[in-house]
Amino acid sequence: MPRFSDHELGMGRKITRRDFLDGVAVVTAGAATAAALPGSAHAASPARDHGHGRPTAPYPPTESGLRGQQPGAYDVAHAVRDGDFVPGRVHDTDESYDLVVVGGGLSGLAAAYLYRKHAGPGARVLVLDALDDFGGHARRNEFHVGRTLLLSNGGTVNIDTPSTWSREARDLLTEDLGVDLKALEATVKDDAYARYSLRGGTLFDAERWGEDRLVIREPGESWASYVTRLPMSEASRAALVRLYTTTEDHYPGLTDGQKKEILARTPYETYLREKIGLDDDALAVVKRGTNGLWGVDADRVAAADAWATGQPGFDGLALAHTPWPGAGATPLMHLAETEEDGNFYFPEGNASLARLLVSRLVPDAFEPRRPDWREIVTAQADYSRLDHPGNRVRIRLSSTAFQVRNDGRHGAVVDYSRGGRSHRVRAKGVVMACWNSVSSYVVPELPADQVTAMRYGVKVPLVYARVALRDWRPFARARVSRVSTPSMFFSGFGLPTVTEIGDFSMPHRPELPTVVSLSATPNSPGLSCREQHKAGRRALIRMAFEDFEREIRDSMARSLGEYGFDPARDITAITVNRWAHGYAYEYNSLDDPALFLPESQRPYAVARRPVGRIAIANSDAEAFGYTHAAFDAAHRAVAHLV
């Protein structure tokens, strides 16, 4: 429970509060609308002309106010799943397209772009999405503190290991969208905080450790010295030192392949307990290190995967930097990194890629038209242009498909719900770029084995919270850039990566505003990965916005209160991106026997089989929650239709 009262935490202060459930704003309260960029509007406001001669629709990245869940966004999908949906009279729009894409995330937008690239600029495409913004998990969070613009990702973070991308995905990124990777890498200012000598800290909270204690590791400090300040027994401290310094080979006499085979079938937590000797206290400090990639603690991640992604405890095994049979649904990127790879990062994450795709599909939606990768970050988006009748490509948000079927006369028919009414459009072909589980209920012609395969994977639940601050002087006084909170709801919080790209520059002086990032991956240790994800999803859906806000304020106050941080005074806005259905499920060697089968027999491969003029996309189709997987799935789906 929080250490401070709601009054001390500032729970009643008037700030901008935004809560997104799977990308749809669900709870906003006590909001004071922040000053908006040209092109933005309050949710309750009518369309306005903001000085560039065009009316604009509400602007999802900055909308606030009491909005509630977007009508129809999930009610329809859940009703279809439960067999309770009654569509009523379906209004035939008389619209006919060359392609309809169900799902406006990166895979769906890429499918629309690639289809037109092959079919020609005259091809007519409709993109439907249940959310009120495009991009799916590539979500842009935008804050305005006074005259200062702050940007952050609400989902997908960066462009990871492009050396491992397929030629098709790489060409889409660099040739079609024009992203210059080396120039993009140069926009990240790694030395921006250097003058402040910032370090990393760990908060040991009173409920778990008996007192609130922020322990900061000095640069170059040995592990033996650092652990002396941790509130745990000598045995626990010694175990942590072993974890980070061991050079012991725990499998003497075995070959590289034999060691990896054992590690692939051994939970990382088991390895840490049995080989390194970690007890409960030592394990509590490190067990969440796997959360960011898999959404579960060390109990359900294979030791082989932990080794491959740089988790500690393996230095003595002398393992070759190569994958192993059954290493994963796709090659482990971290084993394939080359000098070509680096920190390729937009200030709003891969929302920039979604915006670039939309700017190519609907050029009139952005000012300037067809912005390049530098300009896209601050390009003005006019959402009223996305579904304009004159467009060759129309993007229709807040629209939930409830039935998609083949039609011998037209190719396919798509029925969808919007604003409580049912509509019908026709197309020569359809790309289902929504979640596989949704497709399994929406496409009635799917064979039984494909339906089962589509429902096998369970999306990884996660929370990305973003907090706008008036300044970050308390961080500077504490000389920390990031604080780990291993036994609280959020796993930690930290200052943003500093980028300077186009007209945007992330402020990085302590007296200036900033945006702090927090993340959480709720799970239920002891269960299989898929069951943990289901439990985490249920937990997230039950949580109210105030629950997240209280956790945010409490963890930051405990950590930095003695350095002058006052959550009631310093926090100006909070956005909670609550992805109950988060990233694509990635198969693992502990829970998924199909991982050791030929790829064609794995559920995700069975699930992506096309059915007539209906093709399947989304990163679910690759069992890999990364941007290039979404691009690959789009390419495969379009290749079938073209």
323 found inside a domain: yes
Per-residue pLDDT at 385 exceeds 80: yes
Cα radius of gyration rounded to whole Å, the chain: 25
Same domain, 547 and 610: no
Per-residue pLDDT at 122 exceeds 80: yes
Predicted pLDDT of residue 71: 34
Per-residue pLDDT at 336 exceeds 70: no
CATH of the domain at 123: 3.50.50.60
200 found inside a domain: no
Per-residue pLDDT at 31 exceeds 80: no
d(Cα 529, Cα 531) in Å, to the nearest integer?
Answer: 5
* Three-state secondary structure call for residue 427: strand
Sign of CA dihedral 489, 492, 495, 498: negative
150 found inside a domain: yes
Same domain, 562 and 503: yes
Predicted pLDDT of residue 36: 28
Structure tokens at 213: 């204690």
Structure tokens at 163: 């050396």
Structure tokens at 494: 């930290």
Per-residue pLDDT at 310 exceeds 80: yes
Last residue of a domain, one of 294, 311, 335: 335
502 found inside a domain: yes
Place of tokens 């699930």: 607
C-alpha pair distances (Å), 394 with each of 49, 90, 101, 113, 114: 22, 20, 10, 12, 15
Mean pLDDT of 452-469: 95
HEC profile of 524-568: CCCCCHHHHHHHHHHHHHHCCHHHHHHHHHHHHHHHHHHHCCCHH
Same domain, 30 and 144: yes
Place of tokens 């760990």: 202
pLDDT in tens, 472-517: 999 999 999 999 999 999 999 999 999 999 999 999 999 999 999 9
- If pLDDT is split at 50, 70 and 90, which confidence band does 44 have? very low
Question: Nearest CA to 106 among 620, 452, 639?
Answer: 620
187 found inside a domain: yes
Phi/psi at 355 (5° precision): -65, -40
Per-residue pLDDT at 33 exceeds 60: no
Range(s) of the domain holding residue 42: 6-69+138-194+460-583
Between residues 597 and 378, which one has the greater pLDDT? 378
Contact 553, 567 (CB under 8 A): yes
Predicted pLDDT of residue 51: 39
Last residue of a domain, one of 583, 608, 623: 583
Mean pLDDT of 541-556: 92
Predicted pLDDT of residue 596: 86
Contact 189, 498 (CB under 8 A): yes
Structure tokens at 512: 């200036």
Same domain, 269 and 415: no
Same domain, 161 and 13: yes
Mean pLDDT of 145-171: 93
Q: What is the pLDDT of the chain when averaged over all its residues?
A: 89
Contact 365, 359 (CB under 8 A): yes
Predicted pLDDT of residue 4: 80
Same domain, 40 and 145: yes
* Three-state secondary structure call for residue 590: coil
pTM above threshold 0.85? yes
Structure tokens at 133: 């913004």
185 found inside a domain: yes
Contact 281, 232 (CB under 8 A): yes
Per-residue pLDDT at 178 exceeds 50: yes
DSSP state of 335: G
Q: Which stretch of 93-107, 427-441, 536-550 has the lowest confidence by average pLDDT? A: 536-550
Same domain, 270 and 328: yes
pLDDT in tens, 216-235: 999 999 999 999 999 999 99
Domain count, the chain: 3
Per-residue pLDDT at 29 exceeds 50: no
- If pLDDT is split at 50, 70 and 90, which confidence band does 321 have? confident
214 found inside a domain: no
Same domain, 428 and 553: no
Predicted pLDDT of residue 325: 63
340 found inside a domain: no
d(Cα 366, Cα 383) in Å, to the nearest integer?
Answer: 9
Per-residue pLDDT at 193 exceeds 60: yes
